[in-house]
């Protein structure tokens, strides 16, 4: 093995670990439990601990799709050299660190995607327009779809003619149906991922679309019935437990998506170095996210949970359900997505349903959107300029 290549890979791995820490301290560590903290369902420090654990699990079991997309799906014709990988990670982590210090949720997906594309194009790569179209569609539609779903849910939950033991149970059943069809790397066969639904089908020996639909409906009914019983028995406690479960699922999804932003650029180098497995790279990224969540996330959790709107348990549930659904869609498509954008949009939608425009700080929202757009443009420009001049 070439010692020089190994040394450069080690430097890139350290940059990746730092990027993972920044992600855990920022978007991945803050947004999943921000609604729960805003609803006083869990303390800030305990939320940071839980989100770190679930983020690590999500990174290890679901991180492959987005990692592959970031590593080789954004620029065609070339593979980033080690120096380019380091440049991408340093720029992305640097901009995220600025967001953490200032308290504004700069979108990790925007910074890393902009940096990868900028470096790749500067080094002679070709644009991958179908992937760009897919990514842009997810980014643009997320605020409208997520905020709209959250608005609809938050409009229904307080209604006296729709008892919460039914409405919340129905939402839980929907989440259960999606969770049954989520792919996990450890459930797969022949090198591909597998789902809980497919595992259940193998156990009972039932194949085909009809069996898949039946298993999914059973999973949804089981989850919905459990939540119906819990909320009926203890409404306040049941809502709190649903909220914490949703926060954990969003944290899990965040780990599965955001780890790709930290370790994705490393993936093309793994084959060159040899002796390093994809699982080890994902585990390393997940560990960085875990440590970042434990040590740096409380500041951002407070900023998101308190500065955007005053959240109760119902509005928080309304925000977290679409956040989980959109996050899992992005993981399935292999699209790098911003959890700041997902959760903040949902918080705004749920807040507007209850309190109108007064429930949300227009100035804060405008500054956040500007930070999202500016982070992509700045990251792309810096990455392109530095790579063109120095690499």
Report pTM.
Answer: 0.87
Q: Which structure tokens are listed for 72?
A: 């080789």
Nearest to 293 by CA among 8, 93, 53: 53
Provide the terminal-to-terminal Cα distance of the chain, rounded to the nearest Å: 24
User: Using CA atoms, how far apart are residues 159 and 196, in angstroms rounded to an integer?
Assistant: 34
Nearest to 303 by CA among 61, 148, 158, 105: 105
Residue 331 CA: distances (Å) to CA of 83, 337, 385: 28, 9, 30
**What is the residue-wise DSSP string for 241-280?**
HHHHHHHHHHHHHHHHHHHHHHHGGGHHHHHHH-S--HHH
Nearest to 370 by CA among 104, 101, 88, 145: 104
pLDDT per residue of the chain (391 residues) written in tens, 0 to 9: 567 667 777 888 888 888 888 888 876 667 778 777 877 778 888 888 898 999 999 999 988 888 888 888 899 888 888 888 888 888 887 877 776 676 665 678 888 899 999 999 999 899 999 999 999 999 989 989 999 999 999 888 877 778 888 999 999 999 999 999 988 877 765 555 588 898 888 888 888 888 899 999 999 999 999 999 999 999 888 988 998 999 899 999 989 888 888 888 888 777 677 667 788 889 999 999 999 888 888 877 776 666 554 667 888 888 889 999 999 999 888 888 888 788 878 888 887 776 665 556 667 677 777 777 888 898 899 999 999 887 7
User: Using CA atoms, how far apart are residues 346 and 340, in angstroms rounded to an integer?
Assistant: 10
Nearest to 251 by CA among 343, 142, 150: 343
Domain spans of the chain, in order of start: 3-390
């Amino acid at each position: 093995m070439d010692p020089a290549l190994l040394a450069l890979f080690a430097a890139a791995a350290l940059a990746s670990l730092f990027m993972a820490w920044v992600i855990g301290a920022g978007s991945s560590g803050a947004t999943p439990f921000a609604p729960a903290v805003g609803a006083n369902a869990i303390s800030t420090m305990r939320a940071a601990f839980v989100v770190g654990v679930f983020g690590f699990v999500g990174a290890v079991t679901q991180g492959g799709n987005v990692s592959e997309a970031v590593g080789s799906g954004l620029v065609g014709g070339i593979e980033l050299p080690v120096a380019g990988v380091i440049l991408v990670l340093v720029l992305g982590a640097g901009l995220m660190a600025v967001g953490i210090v200032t308290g504004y949720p700069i979108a990790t997906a925007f910074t890393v995607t902009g940096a990868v594309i900028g470096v790749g194009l500067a080094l002679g790569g070709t644009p991958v327009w179908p992937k760009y179209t897919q990514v842009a569609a997810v980014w643009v539609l997320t605020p409208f779809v997520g905020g709209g779903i959250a608005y609809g849910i938050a409009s229904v939950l307080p209604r006296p003619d729709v008892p919460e033991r039914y409405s919340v149970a129905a939402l839980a059943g929907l989440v259960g149906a999606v969770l049954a069809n989520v792919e996990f790397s450890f459930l797969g066969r022949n090198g591909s991922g597998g789902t809980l639904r497919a595992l259940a089908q193998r156990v009972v020996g039932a194949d085909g679309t009809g069996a898949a639909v039946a298993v999914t409906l059973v999973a949804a009914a089981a989850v919905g019935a459990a939540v119906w019983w819990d909320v009926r028995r203890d409404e306040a406690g049941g809502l709190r437990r649903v909220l914490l479960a949703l926060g954990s699922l969003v944290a899990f999804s965040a780990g599965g998506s955001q780890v790709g932003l930290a370790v994705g650029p490393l993936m093309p180098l793994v084959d060159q170095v040899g002796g390093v497995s994809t699982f080890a790279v994902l585990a390393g990224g997940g560990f960085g996210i875990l440590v970042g969540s434990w040590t740096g996330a409380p500041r951002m959790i407070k900023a998101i949970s308190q500065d955007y709107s005053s959240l109760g348990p119902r509005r928080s549930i309304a925000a977290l359900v679409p956040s989980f659904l959109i996050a899992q869609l992005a993981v399935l498509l292999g699209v790098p997505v911003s959890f700041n954008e997902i959760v903040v949009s949902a918080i705004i939608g749920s807040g507007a349903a209850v309190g109108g425009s007064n429930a949300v700080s227009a100035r804060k929202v405008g500054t956040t959107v500007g930070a999202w757009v500016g982070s992509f443009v700045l990251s792309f420009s810096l990455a392109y300029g530095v790579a063109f001049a120095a690499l």
